Amino acid sequence: MSTAIKGGEFIIKDVHHNDIFTPEEWSEEQLMIGQTCDDFIIQEITPLLDRIDKMEEGLMPSLVQKAGELGMLGMSVPEELGGMGADFKTSLLATERLGKGHSFSVAYGAHTGIGTLPILYYGTAEQKQRYIPKLASGEWKAAYCLTEPSSGSDANSGKTKAVLSEDGKHYTLDGQKMWITNGGFADLFTVFAKIGDDKNLTAFIVEANSEGITLNPEEKKLGIKGSSTRQVFFNGVKVPVENMLSERENGFKIALNILNIGRIKLAAGVLGGSKQSITDSVRYANEREQFGRSISKYGAIRYKLAEQAIRTFVVESAIYRAGQNIDDAIADLIAGGMDKEKATLKGIEQFAAECAILKVAGSECLDYVVDEAVQIYGGMGYSAESPVERSYRDSRINRIFEGTNEINRMLIVDMILRRAMKGELDLMGPAMKVAGELMSIPEMTDAPEGPLAEERTALAGFKKVVLMVAGSAVQKLMQTLSKEQEVLMNIADIAILTYQAESALLRVEKMIEKGGEAAASVQIAIVKTFFYDAADKIAKAGKDAVLSFAEGDEARMMLTGLKRFTKGSATNPKATRQLIAQKIIDDNEYKI
């Protein structure tokens, strides 16, 4: 496996399909882990969904504990601390398979992610020994206390205070946290507070039975009703000094790095939800008859099924591509002498932009899929008797969790530009080359060959759009770019579509090489249709951005370039969607 690509480099580098991991390559052991997770959802969660949503006392913590007994909570935890020591992409697979567990998947994600990982990656040896085995087994449940009534997206503005005692033995915590997932049953909190006039937060490990901790009643929510969400109050809570996590003022960095992990994990979780909702959609469409035949025979329904599958397949391709890139980066850092925890954080941090891309793409894919699932069910979809009503409500939080999609879009551009400014990513050279190309006659180059030749050419154009628009925006707006949120979001949308398009293209090129063109006909249709639509979306986002900061000849030149770089292909979208839909209809489930 090549380790050549770095975070953000997809914009400027040609990637070969042999340099990525695809879901067709899971080992038998990984597939067994996936099956264990599937079985757990089918046997332990799905039959209890109504009881879970009614917040039956003690039910959710007992289910989290059962998952711990099966090893699901310790996927990322080293064996010496009671876990499985699986690599990063295997932890993504488990998260995907458990992602169809509705409120349970939220409790699971919070416990294994933001609940456990701050201690695993930043804790001292003593802190890890004391807490991680209990969290990996499910004996203890964890929560993460960052958000406050006055600090949401601006997390570092929190007002919770930590004051050191005169004898220097403990800190006293005072403050209020809200939207705390697992708050109602957690045994352990990671709490972020400010010491004195510090600019940045400091993190503390706080045991839930500490005196001075009180909880508000459970929040009443639109969806994920079975997930415990409470406000937590800290009134004179004494925390031993040895329970400071990492160093003073390192809390904000911990929060940011853990959120990077949370973003790609969220993408994996919503992928599982998307696949389940497609299966629900097609089973209903095959059973439901109107005008004398099943509704799955009608073009309007087939369009929906195909589009659900296209978006899901593309997101899946991007998630596991990034997961392997992160594993490779971690392996390189360990080989260079770094310890595993630091290497894991550094490897994920390197792909922070991709994690943000996946969070946005995944959550918006699931929202599309569940919305169309309700539409396919028609009136029944609006009934709480149908499985898709709960999916529709539960999906909505994902565009807010782990940083809103708007914040994540701006972060994508910011993180890539920061890497360029640090000299970790050469964006300026390729951007200047594209700028020069705008003023010259297009060169004739050898066209790619094969069933996806047009898409390979289109991808090169998409990357040029990112470079042209971002490069021009940086030059034109300079220091004010960070305030131009509309432009940043346009650039982010181009990058998100480009990353997904390339990921799906590489995956299907690999499938063609291994199994031949005929065996990959449905997947080829998916890539062709996604590129067909992406070209127009990229052109629109590019045009919106260009006209926001350029005018006259400069704008005309870039708009001409935009047309050249987003020409698209002559794909027949009706035919490709019919082919994709037929596969799902015949299988009576999502199995692509």
Residues recognised as catalytic: 402
Domains of the chain: 23-140 (1.10.540.10), 144-245 (2.40.110.10), 251-407 (1.20.140.10), 423-587 (1.20.140.10)
pLDDT at 90: 97
3-state per-residue secondary structure call for 189-230: EEEEEEECCCCCCEEEEEECCCCCEEECCCCCCCCCCCCCEE
User: Per-residue confidence of the chain (592 residues) as pLDDT tens digits?
Assistant: 445 689 999 999 999 999 999 999 999 999 999 999 999 999 999 999 999 999 999 999 999 999 999 999 999 999 999 999 999 999 999 999 999 999 999 999 999 999 999 999 999 999 999 999 999 999 999 999 999 998 878 888 899 999 999 999 999 999 999 999 999 999 999 999 999 999 999 999 999 999 999 999 999 999 999 999 999 999 999 999 999 999 999 999 999 999 999 999 999 999 999 999 999 999 999 999 999 999 999 999 999 999 999 999 999 999 999 999 999 999 999 999 999 999 999 999 999 999 999 999 999 999 999 999 999 999 999 999 999 999 999 999 999 999 999 999 999 999 999 999 899 999 989 999 999 988 887 776 667 788 999 999 999 999 999 999 999 999 999 889 999 999 999 999 999 999 999 999 999 999 999 999 999 999 999 999 999 999 999 999 999 999 999 999 999 999 999 999 999 888 999 999 999 999 999 999 999 9
Residue 242: how many other CB atoms lie within 10 Å:
12
Start-to-end CA span in the chain (Å): 24
For residue 202, list its beta bridge partners.
193
Model confidence, pTM = 0.97
Residue 464: how many other CB atoms lie within 10 Å:
23
Residue 161: DSSP 8-state:
E
Residue 143 token pair: 């929560």
234, HSE (Cβ side, Cα atoms, 13 Å): 31
pLDDT at 491: 98
- Cα angle 93, 95, 100 (rounded to 5 degrees) comes to 110
For residue 191, list its beta bridge partners.
145, 204
Query: How do the residues of the chain divide into helix, strand and coil, expressed in percent and rounded to 5?
Result: 65, 10, 25
Residue 68: how many other CB atoms lie within 10 Å:
23
